[in-house]
Amino acid sequence: MKALLTIAWRNIGRHPARSGVLLAAIAVGLWAGTVSTGAINALMQQRMTYLIESEIAHVQVHHSHFPQEFRGADGVPEYQAIETWLANDGRVRAFASRAIAEGMLQSPIRVSGANIRGVDPEAERRTTIFHESMTEGEYLDSDVRQAAIVGGPLASDHHIEIGDRIVLTFENASGELTAAAFHVTGFFESASTEYDRRTVFVRAGDLAGLLADQPIRHEIAVLLEDETQAVALAADLNRSFPDTLARTWRELSPELNMLVELGDVMLFIVTLIIMAALAFGILNTMLMALFERMREIGMLMAIGMSRRRVFGMILLESTLLTALGATVGMVLAWGTIRHLGKSGLHLDQFAAGAAHLGWDSTIYPFLTTAEYASILAVVIAITLLASCYPAWKAIRIRPLEAGRDL
Amino acid sequence: MSLVQTDNLCKTYHPETVPVHALRDVSLTIERGEFTSIVGPSGSGKTTLLNMLGGLDLPTSGVVRVDGIDLGGMRDGQRIAFRLRNIGFVFQHFNLIPVFTARENVAFVMLLQNRCKSDMLRRTDALLDAVGLSDRKDARPRELSGGQQQRVAVARALASEPKFILADEPTANLDSESAMNLLDIMERMNRDQQATFVFSTHDPRVIERALRVVTMVDGAVVKDERHGDE
């Protein structure tokens, strides 16, 4: 084995330029692919985290009719009892109850559809990071009566300034149209321009008072200490409060779940592309090396080197070559991901388009140890596979080749 | 029992298109300790005969026996293992592993034989000393002259302690001095270690020094003479 390793190792050094080019190709390809994978991970994670932290949270509780049809009258049954239950559950970090209405926003210049969300500012602060989206003015915990905060693009469309009055019209719990004037105290900008263009936030108490005579909440968002407990908590809630429907973020946002799965698919595709290039590189180099050394390999078999050993020698040679390139590529990728994971990868030139789609302009690439390991495992597997053909060709060489020049 | 025996050895290339009869009914015996030269013009079948004797190629008909064992009756892998234990080779070109030093080239066959390290090192040094390369043991083939490379090849051929050594035109690419040096070494190994050599050549100076000369023409043995008999 040592002799095979020595011969394989030294064969790599036989054509420094050729080996160097392949090494560089493997290293650069692996680096680029791994960093791309880290960036894809970051995009997916950022989107997921943002949606969870800014609005969805880990679990939401609604009226059991909520998924089929939203009606103002369908508040969460026993919502105060649920709040007490949540307050006493150790798995829960925070929760926020919300009143919701679908209606219209009327300004002096136009009318447009609006999703009106009544929130408890303090509870919302504890549960989501929505308050960090404020770009101008004050959040809902100001002293202003009937305060409203409006998405920046929506305010722009309506030419709304801070202090302006807007009229929100919606159907109350009895099915009657209700309208009320609100004072705009601030603007927000989330990661999604579309969301900002149709959403208005008011205090839950103000909205609930207009919706029904009794206190009403349509949604309770629950933030957990540990995301992995979401399924269990939702099941416990559904058992304890049968008229309600508690769902995890994966159920609430199938597109988010799909995004996570898409990330895995993209990881697979990127890896596949790199590996295909890697496989052809190895195949080409090893075949070239083989054709140059036909007589030498014939000589080795003539003097008694078994075909099994010849096969192993070729496999070892390509494995060593790939291991070198892969090590350089992976170390570079690890360093790059580590650096970008701290400083962030700035996608400023794409920021406008990214914001429209709900992405932030700075992402923080990362890769889990398992992902590094799986990339390495695939590299090794592909290398061995790609080397099999040249190795098979090598063992087909007849020892007679050694004397062919005579 | 003869060391090597061929019976009615025939080799025909392209038998179904344009048949080329490289060997015609060659029956030959080689005894232990012989220093035999196979001579003849180009295309006379010298190399084909050596390939058959070494189990590198198989005859169309006829039998090659080494120590009574029929090489044609073995599977390919068995023939490789047989060569490793019983036959040494010296080729005209591509003789050495270019990425190994002289020492490593000689030791390589013993590594393939799984010999113990101390035995391997001792024998390698002794062989390289014997072929006059004590001071070039760590040189790679490209750092050695053609003659020195062939001397390493002879040392390697002897390293596995084979029953006989086949050398195909070993002096063809060497200048006169190197060729004579190589022959001196081969003769000494033959005399001192009873190593059996069978080599092909065109070179009259080499033929002169062979103890037995087998002459081939058109694939057939036309003359077989022992210099000692004269």
Q: What residue segments make up the domains of chain A, in order of their start?
A: 2-52+256-403, 92-222
Mean pLDDT of chain A: 87
| Mode of pairing for the β-strands spanning A92-106 and A219-224 | antiparallel
DSSP state of A54: I
pLDDT recorded at residue A355? 60
Q: Scanning every residue of chain A, which has its alpha carbon at the shortest distance from the alpha carbon of B81?
A: A304
Q: Residue A359: name the closest of A32, A45, A34, A37 by CA.
A: A45
Mean pLDDT of chain B: 90
- Distance from the A7 Cα atom to the nearest Cα atom in chain B, whole angstroms: 7
Q: CA B17 from chain center: how many Å? A: 32
Amino acid at B100: F
When CB atoms are compared, the residue of A302, A309, A405 closest to B93 is: A405
Place B228 in a pLDDT band, splitting at 50, 70 and 90: low
Q: What CA–CA distance (Å, rounded) separates A333 from A327?
A: 10
User: Do the chains contact at A299 and B160, CB–CB below 8 Å?
Assistant: no
Q: Scanning every residue of chain B, which has its alpha carbon at the shortest distance from the alpha carbon of A308?
A: B77
pLDDT recorded at residue A358? 59
| pLDDT at B129 exceeding the cut of 80 | yes
pLDDT recorded at residue A350? 67
Tokens (6 digits) for A302? 């003539």
| pLDDT at A294 exceeding the cut of 50 | yes
Q: Per mean pLDDT, which range of A139-143, B11-15, B119-123, B225-229 is the poorest?
A: B225-229
- Distance from the B230 Cα atom to the nearest Cα atom in chain A, whole angstroms: 32
Domains of chain B: 4-229 (3.40.50.300)
Instruction: Please indicate if any CB of chain B lies within 8 Å of the CB of A14.
Output: yes
Measured N-to-C along each axis, helices A307-343 and A369-396 cross at an angle, to the nearest 10 degrees, of 150
pLDDT recorded at residue A202? 95
When CB atoms are compared, the residue of A14, A309, A403 closest to B51 is: A403
pLDDT recorded at residue A357? 60
pLDDT recorded at residue A353? 63
Instruction: Please indicate if any CB of chain A lies within 8 Å of the CB of B187.
Output: no
pLDDT recorded at residue A106? 93
Residue with tokens 């057939």: B220
pLDDT recorded at residue B200? 92
| pLDDT at A403 exceeding the cut of 70 | no
| Mode of pairing for the β-strands spanning B35-39 and B212-217 | parallel
Q: Per mean pLDDT, which range of A71-85, A137-151, A348-362, B99-113 is the poorest?
A: A348-362
Cα torsion through A166, A169, A174, A175, rounded to 10: 180
DSSP state of B93: S
Q: What is the mean pLDDT of residues A316-334?
A: 90
| Mode of pairing for the β-strands spanning A244-248 and B87-90 | unpaired
Residues of B in contact with A403 (CB under 8 A): 47, 50-51, 56, 91-92, 168
Residues facing residue B195 across a β-bridge: none
Q: What is the mean pLDDT of residues B157-171?
A: 90
pLDDT recorded at residue A404? 53
Place A272 in a pLDDT band, splitting at 50, 70 and 90: confident
Residues of B in contact with A296 (CB under 8 A): 94, 97-98
pLDDT recorded at residue A351? 62
> Using one digit for the tens of pLDDT, what is the confidence trace for A135-166?
999 999 888 889 999 999 999 999 999 999 99
Tokens (6 digits) for B100? 């190994």
**pLDDT above 70 covers what percent of chain A?**
96
Q: Residue A250: name the closest of A228, A278, A218 by CA.
A: A228
Are B47 and B90 in contact, with CB atoms under 8 Å apart? no
Residue with the larger pLDDT of the pair A347 and A114: A114
Place A378 in a pLDDT band, splitting at 50, 70 and 90: confident
| pLDDT at A278 exceeding the cut of 90 | no
3-state DSSP assignment of residue B222: strand
Instruction: Please indicate if any CB of chain A lies within 8 Å of the CB of B20.
Output: no
Place B88 in a pLDDT band, splitting at 50, 70 and 90: very high
∠ CA B25-B221-B153, rounded to 5° = 105
pLDDT recorded at residue A73? 82
- Phi/psi zone of residue A361: left (φ > 0), alpha (ψ -120 to 50 degrees), beta? alpha
ipTM confidence score: 0.90
pLDDT recorded at residue A405? 44
Question: Which residues have CB under 8 Å from B120's CB, separation 6+?
Answer: B107, B110, B111
Instruction: Please indicate if any CB of chain B lies within 8 Å of the CB of A13.
Output: yes
Q: What is the mean pLDDT of residues B207-212?
A: 90
pLDDT recorded at residue A400? 76
Q: What CA–CA distance (Å, rounded) separates A330 from A34?
A: 8
Amino acid at B45: G
pLDDT recorded at residue A318? 87
| pLDDT at A380 exceeding the cut of 90 | no
Residue with the larger pLDDT of the pair B117 and A193: B117
Q: Give the count of beta carbons closer than 10 Å to the beta carbon of residue A202.
A: 24
Place B230 in a pLDDT band, splitting at 50, 70 and 90: very low
Are B151 and B131 in contact, with CB atoms under 8 Å apart? yes
Residue with the larger pLDDT of the pair A73 and A216: A216
| pLDDT at B136 exceeding the cut of 90 | yes
| pLDDT at A352 exceeding the cut of 70 | no
Mutation pick from A10, A303, A320 vs chain B, by most beta carbons of B within 10 Å, is: A303
Place A406 in a pLDDT band, splitting at 50, 70 and 90: very low
Backbone phi, psi, residue B191, to 5°: -75, -50
H-helix or E-strand spanning residue B29: strand B20-30
∠ CA B28-B34-B38, rounded to 5° = 55
**DSSP strand E in A207-282: where?**
219-224, 244-248
User: Do the chains contact at A402 and B100, CB–CB below 8 Å?
Assistant: no
| pLDDT at B63 exceeding the cut of 70 | yes
Amino acid at B75: R
> Using one digit for the tens of pLDDT, what is the confidence trace for A83-123?
999 999 999 999 999 999 999 999 989 999 999 999 999 99
CA distances from B195 to A362, A394, B119, B170 (A): 78, 32, 19, 16
Q: Scanning every residue of chain B, which has its alpha carbon at the shortest distance from the alpha carbon of A397?
A: B56
Instruction: Please indicate if any CB of chain B lies within 8 Å of the CB of A307.
Output: yes
Residue with tokens 């690890």: A334
| pLDDT at B174 exceeding the cut of 60 | yes
| pLDDT at A254 exceeding the cut of 80 | no
| pLDDT at A252 exceeding the cut of 80 | yes
3-state DSSP assignment of residue B35: strand
pLDDT recorded at residue A125? 92
